[in-house]
Amino acid sequence: MEITISKSNLSATISSKGAELKSLSNSQTKREYIWNGNPEFWGKHSPILFPIVGTLKNNSYSYNDKNYELPRHGFARDLNFELIYKSDCEAIFSLKSYDETLKKYPFNFELQLIYTLSESYLTVCYKVFNENQFEMPFSIGGHPAFALNNNFDNYSLQFENDEVIECYLLENDLLSQKTLKIELKEKNLPLSYSLFKNDALVFKQLNSKKISLLENDKPILDFSFNDFPNFGIWTKQNAPFICLEPWLGYADTTISNGNILKKEGIYLLQPGCQKTAEFSIDVLKI
Listed in sequence order, the residues at least 6 apart from 199 whose beta carbon sits closer than 8 Å to its beta carbon are 170, 173, 234
Residue 83 above 70 pLDDT?
Answer: yes
Asked if 3 contacts 89 with a C-beta cutoff of 8 angstroms, the reply is no
pLDDT band with cut points at 50, 70 and 90 for residue 284? confident
Q: Which CATH fold topology does 2-283 show?
A: Beta-galactosidase; Chain A, domain 5 (2.70.98)
Q: Is the pLDDT of residue 100 over 80?
A: yes
Nearest to 94 by CA among 72, 116, 76: 76
- Give the C-alpha separation, 119 to 164, whole Å: 34
Mean pLDDT in the chain?
A: 97
Q: 286 pLDDT band (50/70/90 cuts)?
A: low
Tell me whether the omega of the peptide bond preceding residue 51 falls within 30 degrees of 0, making it cis: yes
Q: Is pLDDT at 171 greater than 70 in this prediction?
A: yes
* Mean local confidence (pLDDT), 159-187: 96
Q: Which of 27, 29, 30 is nearest to 11 (CA)?
A: 27
Integer Cα distance of 113 and 95 in angstroms: 9
Separation between Cα atoms, residue 238 and residue 229, nearest integer Å: 29
| pTM of the full structure | 0.96
Strands 145-147 and 241-248: antiparallel
Binned at pLDDT 50, 70 and 90, residue 135 comes out as very high
CB 134, CB 109: distance < 8 Å: no
Reading phi first (left if > 0) and then psi (alpha if -120 to 50, else beta), residue 59 is in left
**What is the residue-wise DSSP string for 66-117?**
EEEE--TTBSGGGSBPEEEEE-SSEEEEEEE--HHHHHHS---EEEEEEEEE
Residues 94, 274: Cα–Cα separation, whole Å: 14
Residue 220 has pLDDT above 80, yes or no: yes
Average pLDDT over residues 235-246: 97
Q: How confident is the model at residue 285 (pLDDT cuts 50, 70, 90)?
A: low
Which amino acid is residue 48, in one-letter code? I
C-alpha torsion angle, residues 99, 103, 112, 38 (rounded to 10): -110
What ranges do the domains of the chain cover?
A: 2-283
Is the predicted pLDDT of residue 104 greater than 70, yes or no? yes
* Whether 231 contacts 207, CB under 8 Å: no
Q: Is residue 57 helix, strand or coil?
A: helix
Region 236-253: mean pLDDT is 98
Q: Which H or E run contains 192?
A: none
